[in-house]
Amino acid sequence: MMTMLELPEDLLEEIFCRVPALSLIRLRSTCKRWNRNRLLNDKKFITNHLEKSPKQFMPLMLQDFRLCLMRFNQLRFSPIRVKGKLSLIDPRSSLDHIKISQVFHCDSLLLCHTEDKIPRLVVWNPCTGQTRWIKITRFRQGARYALGFYQDKKSNVGYSYKILSGMVHGPSFDKQDIDLYSKQEFEIYEMNSNAWRVLEVDATLDFIILYLDHGASLKGKTYWIAEDKEKGRNKFLVSFDYSTERFEYLCLPRQYDWYENLSLSVVRGEKLSVLLQRYLGTKTNIWVSSKICDETKAVSWSKVLSVDLDACYLIPDGGSFVFDEERKVLVCCNWDTAAYIVGEDNNVRDYEAGSSSKLSLFDYAPSLTQIQQDLGGKRKRGDERLRYKQTIFVGEDDKVRQEDFLLGRIISNTEYLTN
């Protein structure tokens, strides 16, 4: 009987294409042949793996300037609990971890804004540990950032990633009944060219996106709840296409006014979800979209959850949440240091994080997605190895563990959303 080690290389690759990313990463430490295998650096294999492998979703929360691996379970005494902490490591720094002030999730990559004296951006794949550090000037330090991608048919890189930077200036108190905000400015950073440039937008753009990092990424595009530029009364759903570099309008379940709080999230990487709360009201509704058609921009909405909550559970516009559509369970960050979990039974369970930074919550699906590296600079021998050893896990016992592809080791014992 033929063993795994005796299988032909092409058959072995086909099998590995159907193995979840974290399980595949763990396999590297079990066999010298697989550890030396070129698969995890082969673009063709990575593309096939992204298409064929099942996704494993896990909730991450930004808390105390660090990303935490969470467990949600309504049936437990502590329904929201930290399973462990991930540390972003800069090989050129003596710090045991780099503080993160903002995080944006896109296609299993994280765009992090550091809490340094001189802030930096870093694109990070926690699954592989690969990173790319990006300097920002002091003029751009007050901006918000989002990450997206598009299929680059002109080159052999497959997908190209871009960073969108946005700043809102205002309000204009010297004018009456004209603009609530004076203007917004956007810039684009192209990963494959390592350059920032001003994004020229239509002068008739009639909406404002206050916090670019409060958007939701789906299939490479970024979506936001935007406000009417002149009065700030009406709210819209807009998206940004990183290929055409244009904003687009999409329909919401209905027209929304200024006194209604709206937030966006993504359901298992396939659909958008909208959380609606009326200011000082009790009703909280969750709407889930159909799959969005790129050609027609058509989208339909279904209300899938409605719960009655006290006003103390009101979340701000753009507040983060995750929603389990199958189990009808909602987890929200309602204030900077608190979160709650609620289901169809309307039983609310609180979580006091005591965080020194603003909470941010999202579902993360580990993958082998590669980060485009800056090819302009010289690479020292061993740099590639260093980039793949930057994820450190601190468990519930506060003991530090570090090894190559560390998330692959710990995830087998991790409980996913509402297990």
Q: Which residue has the tokens 């492998």?
A: 53
Number of H helices and number of E strands within the chain? 6, 27
Q: Which residues is 289 bridged to in the sheet?
A: 301
| 333 confidence band (pLDDT: 50, 70, 90) | confident
Q: What is the pLDDT of residue 409?
A: 35
Give CB contacts under 8 A, 24+ apart, made by 77-81: 79/341, 79/349, 79/351, 80/331, 80/339, 80/340, 80/341, 80/349, 80/351
Plot region of 384 (φ>0 → left; ψ -120 to 50 → alpha; else → beta): alpha
Helix intervals (H) in 154-217? none
User: Of 65-69, 279-283, 381-385, where does mean pLDDT reach its minimum?
Assistant: 381-385
Q: Map residue 28 onto helix, strand or coil.
A: helix
Q: What is the pLDDT of residue 394?
A: 46
Q: Which two tokens stand for residue 186?
A: 């956007």
The alpha-carbon radius of gyration of the chain (Å, integer) is: 22
**Element housing 338 (H / E):** strand 338-342
CB 359 within 8 A of CB 339: yes
Count CB neighbours of 146 within 10 A: 26
Q: Which two tokens stand for residue 74?
A: 């309504």
Phi and psi at residue 397, in whole multiples of 5°?
-85, 5
- In angstroms, the CA 169 to CA 154 distance is 36
- In angstroms, the CA 140 to CA 169 distance is 13
Q: Which two tokens stand for residue 146?
A: 């989002």
pLDDT for 391 beyond 60 = no
User: Of 83-97, 100-114, 205-219, 377-391, where does mean pLDDT reach its minimum?
Assistant: 377-391
Q: Give me the CATH topology for the region 56-364.
A: Neuraminidase (2.120.10)
CB 371 within 8 A of CB 147: no
Which residue would you say has higher pLDDT here, 415 or 310?
310
- In angstroms, the CA 380 to CA 53 distance is 33
| 125 confidence band (pLDDT: 50, 70, 90) | very high
In the chain, CATH 2.120.10 sits at 56-364
